Amino acid sequence: MKEVRRNIWFIAAVFITLFVVLVVSLVYNTAIYGGRWVNSPYNPRLREQRALVTPGDILDRNGVTLATTDDQGNRIYNGRKAVRKAYCHVVGDAYGFCPTGAETFHASTLLGYNADILSQIRQVLLQEPVRGNDLTLTIDVELQTLAASQLGSQKGAIALINYKTGEILALASTPGFDPSAIEGAESIADFSSEDAVLINRATQGRYVPGSIFKVVTAIAALERAGISTTWEFACTGSIEVDGGVVTCSGVHGKVNLVEAFAQSCNTAFAALGLEVGGANMAAAAEKAGFNEDFMFQDLTLYSSRYEMNAYSDDYDLAWSAIGQSTDTVTPLHMAMLAGAVANGGIAKEPRLVVRSDTVTGFLRSTMTDQRYMSTATAQTIQEMMLETVASGTGKKAAVAGYEVAGKTGTAEVGGSKSPHAWFIGYVADSDHPLAIAVVVENGGGGGSVAAPIASAVFAEAIQSGY
Amino acid sequence: MLSISRRSGAPFMLIALFEVFGFAILSIREGALGLAEHLIDPMGIILMAGALFLLILQYWLLPALFRYIDRYVMILYNTLFAVGIVMQYRLNAQIAVKQMLFFTIGLVAMAVIIGIFQSGWLHEGRRWLYFSAGLLLLGVAMVFGTVTRGARNWIEIGSFTLQPSEFAKVALVFVLACYLREKRRFWGYTPLFAFVGISVILLVLQKDLGAALLFYMTFLLLLYVATSNWGYLGAGLGALAVGGVISYKLFDHVRLRVAVWQNPWSMVDDGGYQIVQGLMALVSGGVFGSGLGLGSPKYIPAYRTDYIFAVISEEFGILFGVLLIGLYVLLVFRGAAIARRANNAFHALLALGVTVMIALQSFIIIGGVIKLIPLTGVTLPLVSYGGSSMLSTMMLMGILLAVSQENGRADAETLDEAYDEEEWDEEDGDDNYQEDDV
């Protein structure tokens, strides 16, 4: 019986632990994911609320109205169709067809669902017409429109951020849709065509990175394998790995790490990746935000994937080191990576909303900035990226009067399709802390297609004073 | 331990206050908004009167009938019921009336169980009664059961429907207590293993996975308590894991359930709908809730039964949800304390069986609702709507209270004897736990 008594306390302790886990999980999940759950396009409460409440306006950083509501209760978007199509994925639509847009993701702010109880009571008692809160975005609608027009009729995405604050200045995805026209659409099927117009390619598009991934390989080599910039490799145009062959864009001869990076030498980086090893590659990639489920406060960003590990075979590892194999990345994350290089290794949490001083404002001020690499590594990578634009594959990204750094990518997508054209980079000027990622689907060479777009967007942004 | 005076009515006053406010707010809500004919819904007033009457009746009558029953347990089940009945009235007045009726019948059943137990009729020797009652209840559902929501666990008698597996829980607690009260060799437990095995298989065949899990885990935990044998616990949990993997491989509905648990958002339109709606409701009210009657709970499937926790959390707030979990924690504490004070292993295991059963059940359903574990449909004890569930839970409460009553009576007798013999002996003289050869 004594034994039984002792065991009874044990069982009680087990259950109390279980209930504590229950409470912790409830509180933690509510705090971390609660906002997303409430703002889900599937939440019928928001639809209910929308019938009772006039949603607030959505403005750009300069106060330009992106979305408002007229007297009849119709949602009105910007007057120019090109502008509407340029910002459609960022702003979203009133029906939640494009659920990553601010109209849905920030619905509880726009609908005042999180208004405090006193103002709710006042509104009921005085029968005031209820209006939600306005939302000011960090994007500049002019830059946004320019970015979209740079992509033109091609499919692709551009993410332009301020790497010191994390503010997103432009987040373009083409093809776009017209949020004003969605009302007439019979169903979501009218819009979700083969072109996937409802997808925000800048945050949800998972692309093969190609050579821009060499930034990560270089970080791994510098930080985890004790390799320095004097590391040398003789490129003969191809390298045999594990019975397979990794080919290069040319025969680069004897190159050091900086030259290999600037010339985007595949064989050198394949060999580098093998030397660094799968475990180090995976560790460096994960430190740089790969495989992470981003839980940003302002927007949804799909994760980039790097799936090699200590047990991967050499052939896959070699290809993964040059951004092929199973590597996939999202454009905004790549802009963050370029920004982290420029910012001494720190990637700022991307911000889409200009903070307002609400009572609950203190909750929003805690941003999760992350260190993607050490400051010393960042400085070395900066040299390599500057060299790439100065004399390497990224020359066309240059902006007159400013130092631009970057990395091009020409990502093979298999079959007879043209490769994706990539450019990631930044402006090396502390007055203009701009970082960018450009991807053009099946656009061709990164240096010839994506780099000039980056140059044009940078030039316009600098002109506008960012 | 913190103690309240035996006669203190303060906790009951607080429960009454909660009920008065809850029903009052709700009964004028529709009238004030101009949605109903009368300003005050008469049904709300009737329910309020009923709830208060039951509370006062228990406060006076139960301690008079059974002097030593545990008042903490009384307070706890009344608090849980109060939260439940107010919520049920907020959801649907007719349903709340039925729930009130079930609770009344449950109270009577509880009192009857305490009474019979006190008479000594429900002793440890009646194992064949408990055995056959349990198997009969489960078998009846198998033979005469009707299929509801994919599970064959209901039987219809006239216009009533019953869920026999709920009552089989009561039988299980008795079977476990009378078999585990004395230590045996492994083969000595064969009839018990057979009983649990058959029960679990019947429940799985009826696709009542929640009850199957509940039966098995209660059995396993009590087996450990009685034998102190980690091997049994380890092997049992191992068998559960193997069973889980096999059923994952074999059954589509199990796979679906796990997939839905891992990522409900990827299948919002079919399998994940309930979980997603539940999660959205859970957080929609914030920390302090949207306010009683101001939420939108009816989007969640099974909102008045399995998902009542999400509904409460939406309207009363997450903080209240946490406190509700706290009430079950207190019940575990109290149940364990009663079990520890018990005079013999039979009583201890009865009390602990009840405690484990209720704690497990509330953990399984709250954990499922907040997506900590895969969702398994069981009711939230004393809060969810459901006649069979309410009745069986009140019967379990009856067992717990009966043991506390026995504890008190035994203590009083020892005290009397001590007076008679004029000696105060601190000896732990109740070690009549029989040990067979081990």
CATH of the domain at A343: 3.40.710.10
Please say if the pLDDT value at position B377 is more than 70. Answer: yes
Q: What angle do CA B282, B286, B288 make, to 5 degrees?
A: 110
User: Comparing A89 with B157, which gets the higher pLDDT?
Assistant: A89
Tokens of residue A268, six digits = 């050198």
Q: What is the mean pLDDT of chain B?
A: 87
pLDDT band (50, 70, 90) for residue B235 = very high
pLDDT band (50, 70, 90) for residue B376 = confident
Residues of A in contact with B276 (CB under 8 A): 40, 42
The residue of A2, A9, A22 whose CB has the most chain B CBs within 10 angstroms, and thus the best one to mutate to test that interface, is A22
Determine the average pLDDT of the residues in A243-261.
89
For residue A199, being part of any structural domain is answered with no
CA R_g for chain A:
25
Q: Residue A420: give the domain boundaries.
A: 210-463
The residue of B279, B282, B312, B364 whose CB has the most chain A CBs within 10 angstroms, and thus the best one to mutate to test that interface, is B279
Q: Look at residue A263 in the predicted model and tell me its pLDDT.
A: 92
Residues of A in contact with B226 (CB under 8 A): 4, 7
Do the Cβ atoms of B284 and A8 come within 8 Å?
Answer: no
| CA atoms within a 13 Å half-sphere pointing along the CA-CB vector of B142 | 15
Give the gap in angstroms from C-alpha A8 to the nearest C-alpha of chain B: 6
Distances (CA, A) of A237 to A266, A447, B21, B270: 9, 19, 82, 53
Q: Is A122's Cβ below 8 Å from some Cβ in B?
A: no
Span A97-114, pLDDT tens digits? 887 888 888 887 888 765
A104: left (phi over 0), alpha (psi -120 to 50) or beta: alpha
Q: Is A2's Cβ below 8 Å from some Cβ in B?
A: yes
Q: What is the mean pLDDT of chain A?
A: 87
Nearest to A58 by CA among A38, A84, A34: A84
Q: Look at residue B427 in the predicted model and tell me its pLDDT.
A: 47
Please say if the pLDDT value at position A364 is more than 60. Answer: no
For residue A195, being part of any structural domain is answered with no
pLDDT band (50, 70, 90) for residue B438 = very low
Closest CB to B280 among A9, A11, A43: A43
Place of tokens 């200009």: A354
Q: Look at residue B430 in the predicted model and tell me its pLDDT.
A: 47
Poorest-pLDDT segment among B14-28, B177-191, B235-249, B344-358: B177-191
Q: Look at residue A255 in the predicted model and tell me its pLDDT.
A: 92
Do the Cβ atoms of A19 and B363 come within 8 Å?
Answer: yes
pLDDT band (50, 70, 90) for residue B5 = low
Q: Look at residue B2 in the predicted model and tell me its pLDDT.
A: 47
Do the Cβ atoms of A38 and B322 come within 8 Å?
Answer: no
pLDDT band (50, 70, 90) for residue B245 = very high
Give the CA dihedral A413, A415, A418, A424, nearest 10 degrees.
10
Poorest-pLDDT segment among A336-340, A366-370, B57-61: A366-370
* A159, A166 contact by CB (below 8 A): no
Q: Look at residue B220 in the predicted model and tell me its pLDDT.
A: 95
* B85, B100 contact by CB (below 8 A): yes
Distances (CA, A) of A3 to A32, B226, B340, B348: 43, 8, 10, 12
User: Comparing B308 with B142, which gets the higher pLDDT?
Assistant: B308
Do the Cβ atoms of B431 and A15 come within 8 Å?
Answer: no
Q: Look at residue A119 in the predicted model and tell me its pLDDT.
A: 66
Q: What angle do CA B34, B38, B40 make, to 5 degrees?
A: 100
Distances (CA, A) of B390 to A325, A380, B394: 58, 69, 6
Do the Cβ atoms of A30 and B433 come within 8 Å?
Answer: no
Q: What angle do CA A428, A434, A437 make, to 5 degrees?
A: 105
Integer Cα distance of A61 and A337 in angstroms: 24
Poorest-pLDDT segment among A50-59, A440-449, B107-116: A50-59
Poorest-pLDDT segment among B212-221, B283-292, B355-364: B283-292
Residues of A in contact with B280 (CB under 8 A): 37-38, 40, 42-43, 45
* B324, B369 contact by CB (below 8 A): no
Q: Give bridge partners of residue A439 from the DSSP assignment.
A: A157, A422
Q: Look at residue A115 in the predicted model and tell me its pLDDT.
A: 59
Number of domains in chain B: 1
Determine the average pLDDT of the residues in A206-232.
93
Contact residues for A311 (Cβ-Cβ < 8 A; gap 6+): A278
Please say if the pLDDT value at position A169 is more than 50. Answer: yes
* B29, B79 contact by CB (below 8 A): no
pLDDT band (50, 70, 90) for residue A355 = low
The residue of A2, A16, A19 whose CB has the most chain B CBs within 10 angstroms, and thus the best one to mutate to test that interface, is A19
Residues of B in contact with A114 (CB under 8 A): 286
For residue A345, being part of any structural domain is answered with yes
φ, ψ dihedrals at A289, nearest 5°: 90, 0
Integer Cα distance of A169 and A60 in angstroms: 10
Strand boundaries in A222-362, DSSP class E: 232-235, 238-241, 244-247, 253-256, 346-347
The residue of B1, B176, B261, B283 whose CB has the most chain A CBs within 10 angstroms, and thus the best one to mutate to test that interface, is B283
Tokens of residue A294, six digits = 């981003």
Closest CB to A19 among B299, B325, B345: B325
Q: Look at residue A120 in the predicted model and tell me its pLDDT.
A: 64
Q: Is the dihedral of CA A257, A263, A264, A269 positive or negative?
A: negative
Do the Cβ atoms of B349 and A48 come within 8 Å?
Answer: no
Percent of chain A with pLDDT over 70: 91
Please say if the pLDDT value at position A369 is more than 90. Answer: no
* B267, B260 contact by CB (below 8 A): yes
Number of domains in chain A: 1
ipTM: 0.90
Do the Cβ atoms of A1 and B371 come within 8 Å?
Answer: no
